């Protein structure tokens, strides 16, 4: 079953990719008490993710925060080392990289896609959500091959 607006986030472990180390975080604790703009991509360093999705949230970070967002988070079914390298190459300190290396978060959300035809295996779908104190307020899931409703501009219109 896919998560929906009004649902609490599932409690799973993600890895926060930081400059110094990789830090395990539990979603129940991490998203508690703050408003978060979260977006998920099928893979770091992939074309749409690197050319549009991540740069959009980097460019709109100040506007998102001006509308009450405390933190901007990017997740992907990649390991923390890849997420750290992608953040260093294409990101910003304004975007927190949370690695879902085993796909447990994507699976718990009901937002897994099969990218086997592209050599990617099981990945998270492209989506975004506004999370307030651990509860999903907005959920925007893209159709296959699309990039519209999970973009930073779209989320700004929802806030």
What pLDDT sits at residue 5? 96
Mean pLDDT check: name the lowest of 7-11, 55-59, 142-146.
142-146
Q: Is the pLDDT of residue 26 over 90?
A: yes
What pLDDT sits at residue 115? 64
pTM of the full structure: 0.93
* Helix ranges (DSSP H) in the chain: 27-30, 47-48, 54-59, 61-66, 80-90, 104-109, 152-158
Residues serving a catalytic function are: 49
Class of domain 13-158: alpha beta
pLDDT in tens, 38-47: 999 988 887 7
């Amino acid at each position: 079953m896919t998560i929906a607006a009004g649902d609490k986030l599932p409690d799973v472990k993600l890895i926060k990719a930081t400059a110094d180390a990789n830090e395990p975080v539990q979603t129940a604790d991490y998203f508690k008490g703050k408003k978060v703009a979260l977006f998920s991509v099928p893979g770091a360093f992939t074309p749409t993710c690197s050319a549009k999705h991540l740069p959009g949230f980097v460019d709109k970070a100040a506007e998102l925060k001006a509308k009450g967002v405390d933190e901007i988070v990017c997740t992907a079914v990649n390991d923390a080392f890849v997420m750290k390298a992608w953040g260093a190459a294409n990101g910003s300190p304004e975007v927190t990289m949370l690695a879902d290396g085993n796909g447990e978060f994507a699976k718990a959300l009901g937002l897994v896609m099969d990218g086997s035809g592209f050599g990617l295996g099981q990945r998270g779908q492209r989506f975004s959500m506004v999370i307030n104190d651990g509860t999903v307020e907005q959920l925007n899931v893209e159709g296959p091959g699309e990039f519209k409703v999970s973009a930073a501009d779209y989320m700004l219109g929802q806030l």
